[in-house]
Amino acid sequence: MHPNALLDMATELVRQVLRLDAPADTIVSGFLRQHRQLGPRERHALAETAYTLLRQRLVLAHLAQSGSGALERRLAILAWQGTDSFMRRALGPNEQQWLEQVNAIDRSGLPEKLRHNLPDWLAQALRNEVGEDFWPLVAAMDNTAGLDLRVNTLKAKREDIQAELAEAGIQAELTPYSPWGLRIAGKPALQKLPLFIRGDVEVQDEGSQLLAALLAPKRSEMVVDFCAGAGGKTLALGALMRNTGRLYAFDVSGYRLEGMKPRLARSGLSNVYPAQIAHERDERIKRLSGKIDRVLVDAPCSGLGTLRRNPDLKWRQSPKALEELQAKQTAILASAARLVKPGGRLVYATCSLLSRENEAIAQAFSEANPGFEFLPAAAALTSAQVQGADALDSQGYLRLWPHRHSTDGFFAAAWQRKD
């Protein structure tokens, strides 16, 4: 494709993602579906340009104030993630000169807000959470996340999959904590590899895998994944149960549960029962009250722990939205707790970095439910064969940070219902 045409496409994609009226991954994938003539390299350049713009929105908007022409074109040029030579061929002499001048600016001397690229409320909230680790956290969230895989232990062994990937020219390292994880640099196309088609692996962040380890379901138990979504954690739980017992996958979204079907078919699991529920007090839940061995509540949250993958969230979330989420999280956890039988385990989790969605919700639950005994994360994870579990434990909670653990940001709290 001619460089001018591709830059025009990048400009249009920038215009669409800056509306912030839908998740960026939805906008980008929809845009690329409309342009099926693009090759893999062109598609990658366009997608990464959009995500780079969302990561660095404030500083790029500041730098784009100079120059001439459409603002979205200037932003696309500054955020461009294809080759430099390609971009130079798309630019006229004046634009090339402008770009050289902008690239010569020392960004380390810019105001803090332009260096952290966060809305004020979120920057302050993260400073309150991590203190001196604020800038390392910002740097980690500005990096593109690697690709983590969970080996389906029903079908394969981690070392065998690592070797098979190496034969395909893909280097994979063992994840440091999860006993089933592999980490790959970059984003190779896995969907056409036999190991993916066979259901031997699933794409799943190491932090998400550790939530399954914390719940630690056993053979023949009754287990509920209360907010199952597209089923990544459901599949991990089913493998830990060795395809025995009953695993209920509840979600209010039938669309998300539909997304589980092809993954479920590949996985070889036959103990999973997906079910759409109307709300957290659905009749299906009442019928199972006090009968479930283990319940995972991966609650709806701000998603701010996933900013490496979803940089648009920092612009699409707000303090008011967080208040509404906290009320929902409290209600969902209280309802899910009713399912747990005496001696059973309950895990509350989010992919948020903020204590108001995490520790605050867990502490309030503990105070309101003396019939549940708090379980320290390190001990529970160690018994689940998680290596280095002490490094994941913060005051008894599982706490994962992009800059400390190279995972998405995750939180989890565990309790056991007293007999």
Mean pLDDT of 262-288: 91
Residue 402 has pLDDT above 90, yes or no: yes
Q: What is the pLDDT of residues 303-327, one digit of tens each?
A: 999 999 999 999 999 999 999 999 9
Look at residue 12 in the predicted model and tell me its pLDDT. Answer: 97
Number of Cα atoms under 13 Å in the Cβ half of residue 275 = 17
Residue 153 has pLDDT above 80, yes or no: yes
Nearest to 403 by CA among 191, 73, 135: 135
Residues 6+ apart with CB under 8 A from 354: 125, 129, 302, 304, 322
- Model confidence at 238, pLDDT cuts 50, 70, 90, reads very high
Q: How far is CA 324 from CA 256, 277, 278, in A?
A: 21, 20, 18
Burial class for 345, CB neighbours closer than 10 Å (0-12, 13-18, 19+): buried
- Model confidence at 69, pLDDT cuts 50, 70, 90, reads confident
- Model confidence at 2, pLDDT cuts 50, 70, 90, reads confident
Mean pLDDT of 373-377: 97
Mean pLDDT of 191-220: 96
- pTM (2 d.p.): 0.94
Residue 1 has pLDDT above 80, yes or no: no
Residues 6+ apart with CB under 8 A from 262: none
Judge whether 364 and 355 are in contact, CB under 8 Å. Answer: no
Look at residue 83 in the predicted model and tell me its pLDDT. Answer: 87
- Model confidence at 186, pLDDT cuts 50, 70, 90, reads confident
| Residue listed under structure tokens 């036999």 | 194
Nearest to 415 by CA among 381, 356, 374: 374
- Residues facing residue 288 across a β-bridge: none
Q: Is 351 assigned a catalytic role?
A: yes
> What are 359's two structure tokens?
């520790």
Select which of 137, 296, 307, 351 is catalytic: 351
Q: What is the pLDDT of residues 378-394, one digit of tens each?
A: 999 999 999 999 999 99
Residue 144 has pLDDT above 90, yes or no: no
- Model confidence at 218, pLDDT cuts 50, 70, 90, reads very high
